[in-house]
Structure 1
């Protein structure tokens, strides 16, 4: 009897890891590529490469034959460049914004292209061995990577402009705020990444549900609204990135 009791307890103990292996729980299925000891989501890279190729093709087409009096595609590219320059100028400052225009522009265009790719292209019709294609920004890994890039960018901007004096911002206006100011640098990338990921995921889920429940023409207004929301999310992310960079460049270097 004692032996059977110990045996039952031992069997129960062996079953515990199967209940505690929370890391194995996933939402949906993914196409995994093995890279050394790591598994990466293949469908994210596939759509990311497609979006990048489209953006490169549009940029090449619009700037292939530059003319003094712009026409058609060149006119559109110049308008887009002015729009992106205004974002950087308004947030970073008229005298400091130019080196950061390429970064802000790349962030905006990539997020916009990724969001629109998820909203316009019926990826679910393409069958994969496992998983399904979707917008790259529908994956939390992509949005976190973009947010971390922004974090590195504003740290670099602050250190380049103010040197070691950049870290004095953590004890202003009083050293009591040191923990809060440090925590703020962790919350910035978190808010950027989860805001973008949550909005894109919610939009795709709403369109999918409407498509399953009602005829195909009914979800069209929701898809149009999704395109608008996707554009707003790209604008918010790039504007906040520029604002963080501008904030990091303010202060000590100018006051001295």
Structure 2
């Protein structure tokens, strides 16, 4: 497990690398949102606005179809939240391509996202179904209560360690590969530049940093929608 590294100090107050990189990602998303939305018109005339409307509409349709129209009508903020979570999650995984430590490789980050999902799950269950929501813990028979409680405890653990393990595993593999390629380059006489480190890791970066990073973000958002939507079902 990778522990937080302190990079900024203000007296006794310390900021970890994870927090600093997360702030950089948030600042980048805020700046991008500002410049992409500052000249919006009622009738789109630019390709940028058309693209933005397509992306937002696609996210809204996906969330609505997954969670149900009734749930979204009573919890409309789920659409912007899940959209923001996906972009932040994906950027957190992709920022490793720029040489930064991905916040997802810190278990504190994925734990915080998982706890938000669990809070929304219970909030939706109580909001839609009242305290009767907890009766599901004794379904199909009361003897299943201990097993169902174990399942409830396992849910945030699974949500936390699935993205953490996948992203951290990829970063560890890439680190070992770079070390190995650097060692091999030193064994070749007359070569001062580790050429292998510039070419060979590219396909793996495409998989671990881009494909797997975006995929884990999508899976986490989908699980959040399924869990919260299921908790809000009244029929």
TM-score by length of 2: 0.83
Residue aligned with 1:145, SS: helix
Q: Which runs of 5+ in 1 are unaligned?
A: 1-25, 124-133
Give the match for residue 46 of structure 1.
20
Label 1:35 to 1:189 Cα distance change in 2 as closer, same or farther (>3 A): farther
* Number of residues of Structure 1 aligned to a counterpart in Structure 2: 215
The answer to whether the 8 A contact 1:171-1:177 is kept is yes
Asked which structure has the greater CA Rg, the reply is: 1
Q: How much has 1:80 moved relative to structure 2?
A: 2.2
Deviations 1:187-206 (A, max 9, x none): 11111110000111011112
Residue aligned with 2:70, SS: coil
The answer to whether the 8 A contact 2:4-2:16 is kept is no
The whole-number CA distance in structure 1 between the counterparts of 2:36 and 2:146 is 48
Give the match for residue 75 of structure 1.
50
The answer to whether the 8 A contact 1:92-1:243 is kept is yes
The answer to whether the 8 A contact 1:44-1:139 is kept is yes
The answer to whether the 8 A contact 1:153-1:245 is kept is yes
Deviations 1:171-196 (A, max 9, x none): 12211111122222211111111000
The answer to whether the 8 A contact 2:2-2:105 is kept is no
Q: Are 2:31 and 1:57 aligned? A: yes
TM-score by length of 1: 0.77
The whole-number CA distance in structure 2 between the counterparts of 1:247 and 1:234 is 20
Cα RMSD for the two superposed structures = 2.3
Q: Are 2:109 and 1:148 aligned? A: no
Give the match for residue 216 of structure 2.
233
Give the match for residue 121 of structure 1.
98
Q: Which runs of 5+ in 2 are unaligned?
A: 182-195
